[in-house]
Chain A
Amino acid sequence: MNLFAATGLAVASAWAVYGVGAALILAGAAAVVGLRNPVHCALGLVSTIFGTALLFIDQGAYFLAAVQVIVYAGAIVILFLFVIMLLGVDKKEPRSAGTFASLGPVAAGLGIVAVVELLVLARVHYWATGAKSTTAALSGPGADVQKLGQSIFTGYLLPFEMTSALLVIAVVAAVALVRRGSGAPPQAPPKKAPATLRPPAKAPEAPAPGRAGAEPAGEKTRVAG
């Protein structure tokens, strides 16, 4: 084997990595869009995330890959699953047409057009001047984590702080959104509640994470899909 063969192996392995990553991504995406059960869709999302992380590593963004897995797959998707279980929407979404029956082909068409345009634009990137930004170069001495850290904590300090504040605000907002509050007006008396509303007697127990199946099925309207 000469260098050529070694190079060929590297190339082949690079392509293999890419292929695996692409497959994971696309399969996951298809699952999210196509599957009926929301839990299955969440699993598809996880697949996409893993594929993306793989491609991150392939491109040298090691830290980001790790963060991607930890934050996305490890927190966000878990959140999704929690809410799915909490609200009990894990029933299969019926294949009924719904309000916008004709949207499927429209959406597909729009999607294809968007992709084509993006590709054309990506190809012809004449407005990229190639000048270096204020941040450091990707290649260079030092681990990618170190360079990333330096860049964020010096050059992008303000966005960093702002996003931190944003996180806090988001948490507070979420709590405020879902809590009933001691000063909140009491739920409407059962007589006045329309039939579709969940019976108020059940309301205090709603936050309790009960299995969807444990809820009396009869009181549920059809699970929206």
Chain B
Amino acid sequence: MVNAAYVIVALPLLGFAVNLVFGRRLGEPLAGWVGTAAAGGSFVAALITWVAMLGKPANMRAADLGIYTWVPVAGLHVGLGLLVDPLSLTMLLFVTGVSSVIHLYSIGYMHRDPGFDRFFIYLNLFLFSMLLLVLADNFLFAFVGWEGVGFCSYGLIGFWFQREIAAVAAKKAFITNRVGDVGFLVAIFFIFFHFGSLNYSRVLGTLVHGHATGLMAGAPGAIATSTATAITMLLFLGAVGKSAQIPLYIWLPDAMEGPTPISALIHAATMVTAGVYLMARVAPMLHYAPDTSWMIASVGAGSAFLAASIACAQDDIKKCLAYSTISQLGYMFMAEGAGDYTDGLFHMLTHAFFKALLFLAAGAVIHALADRQDMKQMGGLARYMPVTAITFTCAWLAISGIVPFAGFWSKDAILDSVWQFNKVLWGIGAFTAGLTAYYMSRQVALVFLGRARWQEARPLVSGAGAGAAHEPAEEPAGEPGLPAPAHGGEPHDAPWTMTLPLVLLAIASVLGGGINFDAFGHFDFLSRFLAPVFPTATPVVVGTATKWALSLVTLAACLAGIGLGLRTWVSGEHPALEPAFLQRAWFFDSSVAATVSGPLQAGASALAFVVDRKWVDGAVNGVAAGLRASGRALRWAQTGYMRTYLIGMSVGLIAVLAYLTFRVGS
């Protein structure tokens, strides 16, 4: 039943087309239901495909479905095809699942927004592009999806484009992604140059009939280390751009200008995981490039720590979560760098659940408080928004790595592999886990516990200025948004379209650990499911006792973090714990602006005003001036008098005759 794979991809495309043409007429909320139905249908089709796949033996689960030959040029054959194998199916399931849930949430969140239909057009297009990225069977087709999600991200971050800050953030996101895309493209060139093909099966080898071929076989000499290193480094550059690692993470915090469902879907669960997926896909090649693996693990660890430290000092509820995303992505890359792809993907799954939940709950809070995003002006909301508070708590405990929530299992699995890989990186990871628990607890304390600071009538000061953004047609700051005042000014839980997704995701955050529960033997479904795709992965051989010890250490760190966070932040503000260095994200943006933008702008000015205006224009104008001068010089011959013309003709005639006469003699 791999034909369901076509349906998976076709449904979002159909939803996009329907909304594009009829969206205005369908209006709210029907356009939203169309989009949600498309996403939900995709999820169902993914489930069907998965069930069908489970029916096959473990090592025959890859199917390459060709659709169309795209580039049939001599030597380069690129087709549009779908590769349905365990890896892509894993991605498919959670992408479509989380996406459907968020589509449902958006119906409620985008209520009464003038761009309601446009939102769902973009959402479905995004889903379609993401599915292309995941299902493509060659690098170029995947790149099409890669660019598509980048574009949709741009369109959705700048959804309220009338706000300049949103438009700027969208541009920043797109351009930073582009920097990474250069790496991806050059990698594609290298791959074609070396392998003569861009197809995954041919480049990475296949696993059919029970044995691996090509790079998947892991045989030495299949590819030179330098080539593999070059290709994988370039691909990692692309991944860094898309998944917001150092140094291309700068776009993700600014991307919080977009609506909260977008932050949940694109910048937490799906698009930013594209980089992780890419690295997992080229795992066979990474086997031959240990340097790149080191690089991946180090960058992951660095990003994890850096982002976690910054998140400890953020006031905006969404920015805090954005840095948290960067941090968790760092964990995934650490796992992949250590050679344990399965656990990286496991963490990707659990992270999708609890991070999406965190964002959606934050969205509910923002919505309830009339678009206020500054955590310092929240507080005590647990009383008023119980469902939101409970679901947020589930996510909080999951991300903090508390047993038995999902995050504990995935994070621990990663840290086990990293321990085997390098102890220093393990240390960073463990410490960051503590930091994570700390800042998440800080967030919980500021938002849901303590004094209800929002009741104190402070004027609306939005960190990301969501107040004016949410309803651009309405009056800006100072006016409360829509739902809250209608009920007497008290925040309350959101309508069912928004709370149902929260509940679903909370359940997943609690139970998600069961996907790869390897503590007591054979519940490691995910590992076994994905094993055929990663024959070259490094097996984790950490002794059980060591595993227990490591888990306990990490758990202790997390509990300490929780305790510290709650105790410190329930009671009030502590400016000393929020140094400017952390608040301003280690001054990274400003230093980039100073070192890179400054010279670039100077160069651009030089080019524009000197080269273009003086030299090029001068040359063109100089030609014109020269022509004019020569014309003026030649004017004297046009006297207007017939006689001079006659004389001229006569002289010419005589000259010709003279020439003929003298030629006669020669």
Query: Measured between C-beta atoms, what is the minimum distance from B158 to chain A in Å?
Result: 65
Closest CB in chain B relative to A124 CB, distance in Å: 5
Say yes or no for B522: interface residue by CB 8 A criterion: no
Contact A117–B647 (Cβ < 8 Å): no
Cα A120 to Cα B647 with chains together (Å): 22
A126 at the interface (CB under 8 A from B): yes
Q: Which residues of A contact B643 (CB under 8 A)?
A: 99-100, 103
Residues of B within 8 A of A113 (CB): 654
Knowing A99-B641, A100-B643, A110-B647 are in contact, say whether A120-B664 is a contact too (CB < 8 A).
yes
Closest Cβ of chain A to B213, distance in Å, is: 84
Q: Does A114 contact B (CB under 8 A)?
A: yes
> How extensive is the interface on chain B, given as a class?
10 to 19
A126 to B657, CA, bound (A): 15
Verify if A5 is at the interface (C-beta below 8 Å from B). Answer: no
CB contact between B657 and one of A103, A106, A121, A124 (< 8 Å): that residue: A121
The yes or no answer to A170 lying at the interface (CB within 8 A) is no
CB-based contact A117/B661 at 8 Å: yes
The verdict on A114 contacting B653 (CB below 8 Å), with A99-B641, A100-B643, A106-B647 known, is yes
What's the Cα separation between A142 and B651 when bound, in Å?
Answer: 44
A126–B654 touching, CB < 8 Å = no
Shortest C-beta distance, B631 to chain A (Å), equals 25
What is the distance, in angstroms, from B126's C-beta to the closest C-beta of chain A?
A: 72
Q: Which positions 604-646 of chain B face chain A at CB distance < 8 Å? A: 641, 643
Which residue in chain A gives the minimum CB-CB distance to B646? A107
List, in ascending order, chain A residues with CB within 8 A of B651's CB: 110
Q: Which residues of A contact B641 (CB under 8 A)?
A: 99-100
Instruction: Given the known inter-chain contacts A99-B641, A114-B653, please indicate yes or no for A121 contacting B660, CB distance below 8 A.
Output: yes
A86 to B: closest C-beta gap in Å: 22
Please tell me if A118 contacts chain B, counting CB pairs below 8 Å. yes
Q: How far is the CA of A117 from the CA of B647 in the complex (A)?
A: 17
- Check B226 for interface membership: any CB of A closer than 8 A: no
Interface flags for A99-111 (1: CB within 8 Å of B; 0: not) read 1100100110010
List B contacts of A121 (CB < 8 A).
657, 660-661, 664
Q: Which residues of B contact A110 (CB under 8 A)?
A: 647, 650-651, 654
- Which A residues lie within 8 Å of B658 (CB)? 117
Chain B residues 565 to 622 lying within 8 A of chain A, measured CB to CB, are none
CB distance from B210 to the nearest CB of A (A): 92
Cα A123 to Cα B660 with chains together (Å): 13
Total A-B residue contacts, Cβ distance less than 8 Å: 31
Interface string of A208-221 (1 = CB under 8 A from B): 00000000000000
CB <8 Å contact, A117 and B657: yes
In chain B, what residue has the closest Cβ to A113?
Answer: B654
The residue on B at minimum CB distance from A117 is B657
B640 CB → nearest A CB, Å:
11
Determine the distance from Cα of A120 to Cα of B658 in the docked complex, in whole angstroms.
10
Question: How long is the Cα–Cα vector from A134 to B647 in the complex, in angstroms?
Answer: 37
User: Which residues in B have their C-beta under 8 angstroms from that of A107?
Assistant: 647
Q: In the bound complex, how far is the Cα of B651 from the Cα of A107, in angstroms? A: 10
How distant is A97 from chain B, measured CB to nearest CB, in Å?
Answer: 13
Complex CA gap A114/B664 in Å reads 16
Question: Once the chains are docked, how many angstroms separate the CA of A126 from the CA of B665?
Answer: 11
Please give the distance in Å from A20's CB to the nearest CB on chain B: 30
A137–chain B nearest beta-carbon distance, Å: 28
Once the chains are docked, how many angstroms separate the CA of A63 from the CA of B650?
Answer: 33
Structural contact, A124 and B650, CB atoms closer than 8 A: no
How far apart are the CA atoms of A118 and B654 in the complex, in Å? 9
A118 to B660, CA, bound (A): 10
With both beta carbons as reference points, the residue of chain A lying nearest to B658 in the complex is identified as: A117
For B659, give the chain A residue with the smallest CB separation.
A117
- Give B650 Cβ to nearest chain A Cβ, in Å: 5
Whole-angstrom distance between the alpha carbons of A115 and B192 in the complex?
81
Instruction: Identify B661's interface contact among A103, A106, A120, A126, CB under 8 A.
Output: A120
Q: List 10 A-B contacts (CB under 8 A).
A: A103-B643, A106-B647, A107-B647, A110-B647, A110-B651, A114-B653, A114-B654, A117-B661, A121-B657, A121-B661
A-side interface residues toward B, CB under 8 Å?
99-100, 103, 106-107, 110, 113-114, 117-118, 120-121, 124, 126
Closest 6 CB pairs of A and B: A117-B657, A124-B664, A120-B661, A110-B650, A117-B661, A113-B654
Q: A110-B650, A121-B661 are in contact. List 19 more A-B contacts (CB 8 A).
A: A99-B643, A100-B641, A100-B643, A103-B643, A106-B647, A110-B651, A113-B654, A114-B650, A114-B653, A114-B654, A117-B654, A117-B657, A117-B658, A117-B661, A120-B661, A120-B664, A121-B660, A121-B664, A124-B664
